[in-house]
Structure 1
């Protein structure tokens, strides 16, 4: 797995994101409620993190996600804007 020049994102992140997007499309097409889809994905993500990182590292990932929410990045995405733009 290769990382970008800033050491932030693995080179297979785009592929993983595309697979998740297809899974979301499928679940929505099966009339699974968005909150159930999101909860299942979050639970799966936390399980994956727990298997590959220690608790301190998982907590840091969650803190980074919380900072993104508090900075309004999700609101920008929801409103169709470009984060940071």
Structure 2
């Protein structure tokens, strides 16, 4: 995995994203509630970050996520789903 100091995504990010998408699809097919799926993924991600990054770096990742929410980026993604925000 190659990290760029300028913040460019690592080469294997697309592959990791595909694996996570399949895991989400599987859990949804198992009728696991979306909030439970999201909470489990978030908890796992935070645990991985805690094992591999210092607190300052983790805070930066979380700030970037919050900025995505506040800027409307996630709302735009939700609105693109079939049925809009009702899809979840």
Would the TM-score normalized by the shorter structure come out above 0.5? yes
> Aligned residues, how many?
80
Q: 1:28 & 1:7 partners in 2: Cα distance?
A: 32
Superposed CA offset, 1:23-67 (max 9, x none):
000000111000000000000000010000001110110011001
TM-score (normalizing by structure 1)? 0.88
Deviation at 1:2, TM superposition (A): 2.7
Q: 2:43 & 2:3 partners in 1: Cα distance?
A: 25
2:70 equivalent to 1:55? no
Match of 2:33 in 1: 33
Q: 1:60 & 1:53 partners in 2: Cα distance?
A: 11
* Runs of 4+ with >3 A deviation: none
